[in-house]
Amino acid sequence: MTSPQTPGITSGRLSQEQLAQNFEDLHAPYDGHEAAVAADRCYFCHDAPCVTACPTDIDIPLFIRQISTGMSEAAARTIFEQNILGGMCARVCPTETLCEEACVRETAEGKPVEIGRLQRFATDSLMARQGHPFARAAATGKRVAVVGAGPAGLACAHRLAMKGHEVVIYEAKPKPGGLNEYGIATYKTVDDFAAREVEWLLGIGGITIEHGRSLGVEVSLENLNENFDAVFLGIGLGGVNLLELDGGALAGVEDAVSFISALRQAEDRAAVPVGRNVVVIGGGMTAVDAAVQAKLLGAQTVTLAYRRSQAEMPASRYEQELAASKGVHLLCNVMPVAMHGDGAVAEIELEYTQVVEGRVTGTGETVRLPADQVFRAIGQTLAPADGLDLESRKIKVSETGRTSMDGVWAGGDCTPGEDLTVVAVAEGRDAAEDIHSALTGAAG
């Protein structure tokens, strides 16, 4: 129903049938024959560049060879040994700028082996079985607190549980999964996969999740440090950058993260309101996810406005092309200077930009676009992390995730580095190995 404050924003723009079609799985899974054909394209390179490009160091030629010889579950174990969230990463990793970009087939022919889809085929095959593929080691008697049930926290918790430690995860939200559950486009993770993956991961045993417990409110770092043998922080980035400009507080100006989360959690997509003319400010993956989904919900025009050139957009070329294919207009070299409207946004004013000595500056020339809904996708910020040294406004850590506080490790988006699910998994896993070594004196 249309809100009187925001007359252009309404739910039910499309029928249930149209929505079901729009939000189908972005990439249909391989069947067995398709996987075999795709695997056969791999050269099984020695010192394979795809492995070097993978943040979790999966032995990609090995798992593809295992698929090609009919051993898909063995392939899955090869993947999960390095990346326990390999199923989700197969769906959401920007493989086009990681392993597949490095593929020799890409270099030679411009068409890489479809590593992501092969990884999904293998991991889905094993996850469909009963039971968990890994067993816990003998109990160590050590207890570790993990704050945040996102990719980094879950990867850390699983590896620690495998090593025989007891893990308690403190999660602020009602569901585990973090970004995977709340922050990724619906069409990338259909059939409630994020929740199913967490349930499968917890099958290792030894992990307890307490919901409604956020750091600095219900849980203090000091208390955790006193009551556990080690602490891992996988708290992500909880804050959202604001647009401090005239009209920024008008109704209809929202953050993209909340929009994506609301859509992910909606039982009925038709009930999610969307504007007729939508503008998304930003150029990263979140901006693309918000823009594409606004279009899929039935927005008439969707414009993604980015302050630099298209070549400098943080979103990959593939994601840019996906947005364009769905009818999203990419408008680059513009930045917002004002929102206009009477109580609710009706227009956005953008100023054309230029880059001078590496800095974006306005040219003085502006353009106005109709906009009854504007999404901010200009980055997120770290919640207060008292007592910890920071670097680039994130928690400073060593190569193995150690923070400036004894007994406390951190990883994922709350630490410096790329904000990618696969990177978060690698950091959580590596921190767990270092925690295990510190608690037991064992190597690795």
Q: How far apart are CA 160 and CA 415, in angstroms?
A: 20
Tell me which of 3.40.50.1100, 3.40.50.620, 3.50.50.60, 3.40.50.2300 is the CATH number of domain 244-376: 3.50.50.60
Q: 113-138 as b/e, with b when 16 or more CB fall inside 10 Å? A: bbbbbbbbbbbbbbbeeeebbbeeee
Q: How far apart are CA 444 and CA 430, in angstroms?
A: 9
Computed from CA positions of residues 399, 405, 410, 415, in that sequence, does the dihedral angle turn out positive or negative? negative
How many CB atoms lie under 10 A from the CB of residue 170?
Answer: 23
Residue pair 216/384 in contact (Cβ under 8 Å)? The answer is yes
The CA distances from residue 26 to 16, 95, 261, 352, in Å, are: 18, 14, 18, 34
Where do runs of H (alpha helix) occur along 203-329? 221-227, 256-265, 285-296, 317-325
Does domain 143-235+386-440 fall under CATH 3.40.50.150? My reply is no
Looking at domain 32-127, its CATH class is mainly alpha
The three-class DSSP label of residue 266 is coil
Computed from CA positions of residues 421, 423, 426, 430, in that sequence, does the dihedral angle turn out positive or negative? negative
Residue 101 Cα to chain centre, angstroms: 19
How many CB atoms lie under 10 A from the CB of residue 78?
Answer: 24
Q: How far apart are CA 440 and CA 444, in angstroms?
A: 10
pTM: 0.95
Range(s) of the chain covered by CATH 1.10.1060.10: 32-127
Q: How far apart are CA 329 and CA 315, in angstroms?
A: 14
Each residue's pLDDT tens digit in the chain (444 positions)? 344 457 789 999 999 999 999 999 999 999 999 999 999 999 999 899 999 999 999 999 999 999 999 999 999 999 999 999 999 999 999 999 999 999 999 999 999 999 999 999 999 999 998 789 999 999 999 999 999 999 999 999 999 999 999 999 999 999 999 999 999 999 999 999 999 999 999 999 999 999 999 998 999 999 999 999 999 999 998 877 778 899 999 999 999 999 999 999 999 999 999 999 999 999 999 999 999 999 999 999 999 999 999 999 999 999 999 999 999 999 999 999 999 999 999 999 999 999 999 899 999 999 999 999 999 999 888 877 778 999 989 999 999 999 999 999 999 999 999 999 999 999 999 999 999 999 998 764
The DSSP call for residue 318 is H
Give the pair of three-digit tokens for residue 338: 């004002």
- Whole-angstrom distance between the N-terminal and C-terminal Cα of the chain? 57
Range(s) of the chain covered by CATH 3.50.50.60: 143-235+386-440, 244-376
The DSSP call for residue 281 is E
Q: What is the CA radius of gyration of the chain?
A: 23
